[in-house]
Amino acid sequence: MSSKKIVIVGSFGVGKTSLIRRFVDDTFSEDYKVTIGVHILKKTVQLQDHDINLIIWDTEGTDEIEEIRTSYLLGTHGFIYVSDVTRPKTYEKIDEHKQYLSKNFGNVPIFTVGNKSDLLPKGSISQKKEELDFLDILVSAKEGNNVQRLFEKIAKILIS
Amino acid sequence: MSTSSSNEFIVPIQFISIDTDGKIKSSDQKILNLEKGAPIKDAHPFFESVISMFESRATHLKLDCVNMLDCTFDVEVITHKDNSGVIILRDRSDFYKRIQKVAQQRNQSLILNELLELKNDVLKEKEAFKTKFIKNFSEELRSPLTLISAFSSLLLKGDLDLEQTKLVEALKEQSDSIRKLLDDIIELSKLKKGDSKLAEEVFSFKDLLSSIYMNYNAKVSLTNNTFEMNVSKDVPEFLQGDERRIAQVIKNLIENALIFNDGKHIKFEVTENHRRAGKTSLRFQVHHKGTVPKGLGDKYDLEDLEKVNPEGLNFSIVRELVELLDGTLKFNEVDTNHTQQIVNLKVAYPLHEVKLPPKKKSTVEQYKFSEKVKVLIADQNTTTQLTALKVLVSTGNFDTEVYTDPRELLEAVEKREFDLILMSSSISQIDSIELISIIKQFANNSNKKIPIIALTVHTSKESMAAYKAAGFKDVIKKPYTDDELLNTIYKRLKIKKFL
Ligand SMILES: Nc1nc2c(ncn2[C@@H]2O[C@H](COP(=O)(O)OP(=O)(O)O)[C@@H](O)[C@H]2O)c(=O)[nH]1
Ligand SMILES: [Mg+2]
């Protein structure tokens, strides 16, 4: 079975750790415990004809992408860039940061994610959702929406 | 597994050597208990990631602060060309626990600040909306006030018995004070919007003070009080700055004293603190008996608009004005029941001698025309229509016709002859600036030459310029008094023709 390394990046407090917890253990906590350094978790994703191990590196949140210890990012097969839909600061520099990652760590897929979608005003044609359409996917670690789909999508792309 | 050391300077270290197949060749077991011969990748996903980086190259990689198996390690990975290697773990759990605590506090407060900032932006937007609403609303109120103001002064000029005179005087006084209130609100909303610019003109400060004195001496004596004004000798006669704003500050201070007056005497003093670099620092002080309710002098946000009572409005305006003029403001309670309002302003003064043109009088000439002036009034608003109509008719000098329908209006300027057109800012949704150009096309030759005057609440510099550019001879600001209306008309008519 193949293993793929995925690094989760994004500003602090956006819900990186929560997203992984939801995916790996299907749990969620309202408490905020700041991550320092890196935590490494593993989960197998079952696709139709393949199983794949995702080894997920949960990094400490920084404002500036350059501040992440580069040794964490070596040998990565894909990035998940998480932002918080309620905090514009966490997605303002997304393009710049994507460029930095592609340039320095190989041309691997980068998924941009807006977390905490549960906090958006309800309704299908919400204006806010349109504003956020530059993101690949909106998820909620709290309610679990789209979390499974996100990782399955990534897994599919990584084996193709 | 973790050996929590009491001595933080001793960092437990573990060396793990890996063979060419990724299996554990040897481990000194100081921290983690690893089974010899087992694949290192099974010990933790971290090692699985790391081992995939063994790519037959000699590298030395440092990975700080790796959390696994209940500890936090600084890790070194050394790989050899034959794909064997060494992994060195340093258990720095205690150190990183402290770092974590600091980061926790820092991040929480950063996030909080971010959210507060966002909230603040929303509040600002709301405030701007309110400001705009208040401004529009106040301007709407001006039209009916025109009627009351102008009718009252008109009535007072006629034959009224004493009782009636008193009633009308009261009416006028009330409407004047509402007018003032409205102007205040509009002023405040402008100040709040922060788009006010300061004038930089030379003006006679002495004249300003004496007109303030005359005004308040009369007003205060009506209430059986006395008004005293002292201006110290060193205060410059001329200043260079925003005369209207400075006057507003002074007037508002005095009004404040009048509102909360408990005694018989209001004292107003102007002194000079010092002069520096072409600027004089002036101190304005108003002293009266009676106390001002706590909090009235506080700065308030439009957010709390509901809490501001009309009495507080003056205070808010003074505060905003003083802020705009870059001065300071203080309310002191003295001797338990006296209030002292102190404002310090730095104002430029002209360094050379100044000669200002003499002021114009604003009373109306009492003309008796031999021929009546034919006036066309184009106005939809019955209130202002009536006002203008009555004021003009009362002089006996005018014949007036009112038009509210643009088509009839155009027909009239084509077929009939007039001497003057008064036009409000819009008629049947057609903007007066647009309308005037159509009028000019339709008008017969004699009507092409007559003055057209705009009646409007839009009196910003930009609007005035637009009116003039469109061909209006003059603009009369609503609400106007009968004097203002007549003066403008007389100024713009070729009067000799009618005498
Ligand atoms: N409402 C809501 N809160 C979330 C969501 N995901 C995370 N949070 C909260 O956001 C805070 C930060 O989450 P965390 O996962 O530690 O963020 P990280 O710093 O990016 O790892 C925590 O208080 C979480 O409970 C979500 O989807 N919805
Ligand atoms: Mg985290």
Report the CATH number that the domain containing residue B136 is assigned in CATH: 1.10.287.130
- Residue whose CA is closest, atom 10 of ligand 1? A15
The pLDDT score that the predictor gives to residue B302 is: 46
The pLDDT score that the predictor gives to residue B3 is: 47
pLDDT in tens, B259-268: 777 778 889 9
Task: State whether B178 and B312 are in the same domain.
Answer: no
Q: In the listed set B169, B191, B213, which residue is the last one of a domain according to the structure?
A: B191
Residue B338 has pLDDT above 80, yes or no: yes
Number of domains into which chain B is organized: 4
Number of domains into which chain A is organized: 1
Name which of B144, B185, B199 is nearest B381 in CA terms: B144
B326-329 long-range contacts (CB < 8 A, ≥24 apart) are B327/B249, B329/B297
- Average pLDDT (B356-380) is 75
Enclosing domain of residue A134? 2-159
Give the confidence band of B192 by pLDDT, cuts at 50, 70, 90.
low
- Average pLDDT (B23-29) is 93
The pLDDT score that the predictor gives to residue B294 is: 65
Q: What is the widest separation between alpha-carbon atoms in chain B? A: 125
Q: What is the widest separation between alpha-carbon atoms in chain A? A: 43
Q: Do A40 and B49 touch (CB under 8 A)?
A: yes
CB within 8 Å of A80: residues ≥ 6 apart: A6, A7, A8, A9, A10, A19, A110, A111, A113, A150, A154
Q: In the listed set B348, B382, B416, which residue is the last one of a domain according to the structure?
A: B348
CB within 8 Å of A133: residues ≥ 6 apart: none
Residue B381 has pLDDT above 80, yes or no: no
The pLDDT score that the predictor gives to residue B193 is: 66
Pocket of ligand 1 (CB under 6 A): A 12-18, 29-32, 35, 61, 115-116, 118-119, 140-142
Strands A51-59, A38-46: pairing kind: antiparallel
Residue B1 has pLDDT above 50, yes or no: no
Task: State whether B295 and B251 are in the same domain.
Answer: yes
Name which of A116, A136, A134 is nearest A14 in CA terms: A116
Amino acid code (one letter) for B383: T
B66 touches chain A (CB under 8 A): yes
Which one has a higher pLDDT value, B59 or B150? B59
Angle at Cα A4 formed by Cα A81 and Cα B18, nearest 5°? 125
Q: In the listed set B60, B91, B122, which residue is the last one of a domain according to the structure?
A: B91
Mean pLDDT of chain A: 91
- Highest mean pLDDT: which of A18-22, B277-281, B388-392? A18-22
The pLDDT score that the predictor gives to residue B91 is: 95
Mutating to test ligand 1, I would choose from A18, A26, A29, A119 the residue with most ligand atoms within 8 A of its C-beta, which is A18
Which chain A positions have a beta carbon within 8 Å of B72's beta carbon?
Answer: 36-37
Q: Do B61 and A34 touch (CB under 8 A)?
A: no
Task: Give the start-end residues of each E strand in B211-337.
Answer: 226-231, 238-241, 265-276, 279-289, 328-334
Mean pLDDT of chain B: 82
The pLDDT score that the predictor gives to residue B251 is: 87
Structure tokens at B352: 């050379």
Task: State whether B211 and B173 are in the same domain.
Answer: no
Q: Which ligand is nearest to the CA of A39?
A: 2
Task: State whether B254 and B159 are in the same domain.
Answer: no
Determine, yes or no, domain membership for B120: yes
- Average pLDDT (B300-307) is 50
Task: State whether B224 and B182 are in the same domain.
Answer: no
pLDDT in tens, A49-96: 889 999 999 999 887 888 888 889 988 999 999 999 999 999 999 999
Give the confidence band of B305 by pLDDT, cuts at 50, 70, 90.
very low
Report the CATH number that the domain containing residue B482 is assigned in CATH: 3.40.50.2300
Residue located via tokens 């005498």 = B499
Report the CATH number that the domain containing residue A36 is assigned in CATH: 3.40.50.300
The pLDDT score that the predictor gives to residue B301 is: 52
- Highest mean pLDDT: which of A51-60, B141-150, B259-268, B297-306? A51-60
pTM for the structure as a whole? 0.54
> Rounded distance, CA B495 to CA B446, Å?
16
Residue B309 has pLDDT above 70, yes or no: no
Task: State whether B78 and B138 are in the same domain.
Answer: no
Tell me whether the omega of the peptide bond preceding residue B39 falls within 30 degrees of 0, making it cis. no
Please spell the DSSP secondary structure of B162-173, one letter per residue: HHHHHHHHHHHH
Determine, yes or no, domain membership for B161: yes
A117 CA: nearest ligand 1 atom? 27
Determine, yes or no, domain membership for B355: no
Q: What percent of chain B has pLDDT over 90?
A: 26
- Residue whose CA is closest, atom 1 of ligand 1? A116
pLDDT in tens, B28-72: 988 999 999 999 999 999 999 998 887 778 889 999 999 999 999
- Highest mean pLDDT: which of A10-14, B382-386, B426-430? A10-14
Q: Which of A34, A57, A86 sits opposite B100 (nearest CB)?
A: A34
Which one has a higher pLDDT value, B479 or A139? A139
- The interface pTM score, or ipTM, of the predicted complex is 0.92
Q: Which ligand is nearest to the CA of A9?
A: 1
CB within 8 Å of A86: residues ≥ 6 apart: A116, A119, A120, B115, B118
Give the confidence band of B457 by pLDDT, cuts at 50, 70, 90.
confident
Task: Give the Cβ contact number of residue A20 at 10 Å.
Answer: 25
Q: Do B67 and A37 touch (CB under 8 A)?
A: yes
Which chain A positions have a beta carbon within 8 Å of B114's beta carbon?
Answer: 87, 89
Report the CATH number that the domain containing residue B216 is assigned in CATH: 3.30.565.10
Task: State whether B219 and B341 are in the same domain.
Answer: yes
Task: State whether B408 and B488 are in the same domain.
Answer: yes
Which one has a higher pLDDT value, B68 or B252? B68
Enclosing domain of residue B30? 12-91
Torsion sign (Cα): B26, B31, B32, B33:
positive
Lowest-confidence region among A147-156, B14-23, B182-191: B182-191
Q: Which residues are paired to B130 by β-bridges?
A: none
